[in-house]
């Protein structure tokens, strides 16, 4: 049953890491309504993560809890897509690992792991990432409704409703920014261009996924690719943006988080997220 547990952790880690990233906008949103919207999306994602961690902990039956799985696993144990751990902006040229690319795309291996570059938040980056991910997860959760794991199917039923809202929110903003001002269009296009090389991780098979498919627990990511492309390309066209020519041109050189290969930014994110729990293990709040 280890494969099934790792698959649950993959789904949970995705939700938790993106929930943590989006929560960074709390109190920093471009307008009050968006501040609240991103906080609500973060709560949805953390809620999904909690249900998945709880289910995984029961299956592990080794004393694990949702908190121990979220707060006491290191970066090398996390199974989230690398796309989700990257910062909300462009790495400044000349900074540690800076290539001018979002999250250091194309040069992530050059980033100083001890001191990942500081980046300035860009809402277009957040919107593009949320759109790419929610468009993918809509297909994943819908397919998981038929999982042989009844508890996972029940989590999927709840999550489908939430991700539909996440997709609608991000798609609306993608259109607004892409077909907006010269600057908003340029920023949105840049985010799309630089995030796109990480996208093939969505449908690149991992051993965890192959075993989960064999068990009837998981879904075949290759079977979701064409539907995702149709949805994503349609929205990009409607936003008057250009679909990147080479979807996977340099993806082979990038880390794949679901294979435990991460950018240095995950360690920094976990240090902030896990700091309090690790400083006071066993505390009750």
Residue 99 has, within 13 A of its CA and on its CB side, a CA count of 15
195 in a domain, yes or no?
Answer: yes
pLDDT given at position 90 = 63
Cβ pair 278, 71 in contact under 8 A: yes
Q: What is the pLDDT of residue 105?
A: 35
Position 153 in a domain = yes
- State CA 272 to chain mean position distance: 17
**Cα–Cα distance measured from residue 260 to residue 55, given in angstroms and rounded to the nearest whole number:** 21
Q: CA-to-CA distance for 1 and 8, rounded, in angstroms? A: 11
DSSP letters, 165-226, are HHHHHHHHHHHHHHTS-HHHHHHHHHHHHHHGGGGGGGTS--HHHHHHHHTTSS--GGGGHH
**285 part of a folded domain:** no
The confidence score (pLDDT) of residue 284 equals 75
Q: Which residues of 44-73 are buried (b: 16+ CB within 10 A; e: fewer)?
A: bbbbbbbbbbbbbbebbeeebebebbbbeb
Residue-level pLDDT at 25: 86
pLDDT per residue, tens digit, the chain (285 aa), is: 466 999 999 999 999 999 999 999 888 878 888 889 999 999 999 999 999 999 999 999 999 999 999 999 999 999 999 999 999 986 544 343 333 333 333 333 333 344 455 678 899 999 999 999 999 999 999 999 999 999 999 999 999 999 999 999 999 999 999 999 999 999 999 999 989 989 999 999 999 999 999 999 999 999 999 999 999 999 999 999 999 876 654 455 577 999 999 999 999 999 999 998 898 887 776
**Angstrom distance (rounded) from CA 284 to CA 282:** 7
Place of tokens 């980046």: 119
Vertex 170: Cα angle to 165 and 171 (nearest 5): 95
**Contact between residue 249 and residue 53 where contact means Cβ atoms under 8 Å apart:** no
Q: Is 17 inside a domain boundary?
A: yes
The residue count of the chain comes to 285
Q: Which CATH number characterizes residue 257's domain?
A: 1.20.1260.10
The reply to whether 120 falls in a domain is yes
Per the structure block, which two tokens stand in for 277? 């729990």
**What six digits make up the tokens of 68?**
């121990």
- What's the predicted TM-score (pTM) here? 0.88
For residue 266, is it within any domain? yes
Distances in whole angstroms, Cα of residue 246 to Cα of each of 197, 242, 249, 251: 8, 12, 5, 10
For residue 88, what are the domain limits?
Answer: 2-279
DSSP letter, residue 100: S
pLDDT at 247: 66
State the total domains in the chain.
1
Q: Is 162 left (phi over 0), alpha (psi -120 to 50) or beta?
A: alpha
> Do 18 and 45 contact (CB within 8 A), yes or no?
yes
Residue 70 forms part of a structural domain = yes
Helix (H, G, I), strand (E, B) or coil at 96: coil
**Contact 23/93 with Cβ under 8 angstroms?**
no
């Amino acid at each position: 049953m280890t494969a099934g547990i790792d698959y649950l952790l993959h789904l949970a880690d995705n939700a938790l890491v993106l929930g943590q990233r989006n929560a960074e906008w709390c109190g920093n949103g471009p307008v009050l309504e968006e501040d609240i919207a991103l906080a609500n999306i973060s709560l949805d994602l953390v809620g999904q993560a909690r249900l998945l961690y709880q289910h995984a902990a029961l299956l592990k039956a080794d004393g694990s809890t949702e908190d121990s799985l979220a707060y006491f696993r290191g970066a090398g144990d996390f199974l989230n897509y690398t796309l989700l751990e990257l910062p909300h902006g462009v790495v400044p040229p000349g900074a540690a690992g800076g290539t001018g690319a979002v999250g250091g795309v194309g040069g992530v291996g050059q980033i100083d792991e001890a001191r990942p570059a500081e980046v300035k938040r860009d809402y277009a980056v957040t919107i593009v990432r949320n759109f790419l991910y929610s468009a993918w997860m809509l297909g994943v959760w819908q397919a998981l409704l038929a999982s042989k794991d009844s508890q996972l199917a029940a989590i999927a039923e709840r999550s489908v409703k939430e991700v539909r809202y996440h997709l609608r929110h991000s798609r609306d903003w993608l259109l607004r920014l892409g077909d907006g001002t010269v600057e908003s269009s340029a920023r949105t296009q840049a985010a799309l261009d630089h995030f796109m090389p990480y996208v093939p991780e969505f449908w690149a098979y991992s051993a965890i996924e192959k075993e989960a498919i064999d068990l009837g627990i998981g879904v075949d990511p290759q079977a979701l690719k064409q539907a995702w492309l149709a949805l994503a390309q349609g929205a990009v066209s409607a936003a008057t943006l250009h679909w990147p020519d080479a979807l996977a041109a340099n993806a082979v050189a990038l880390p794949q988080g679901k294979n435990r290969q991460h950018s240095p930014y995950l360690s920094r994110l976990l240090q902030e997220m896990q700091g309090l729990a690790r400083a006071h293990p066993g505390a009750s709040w």
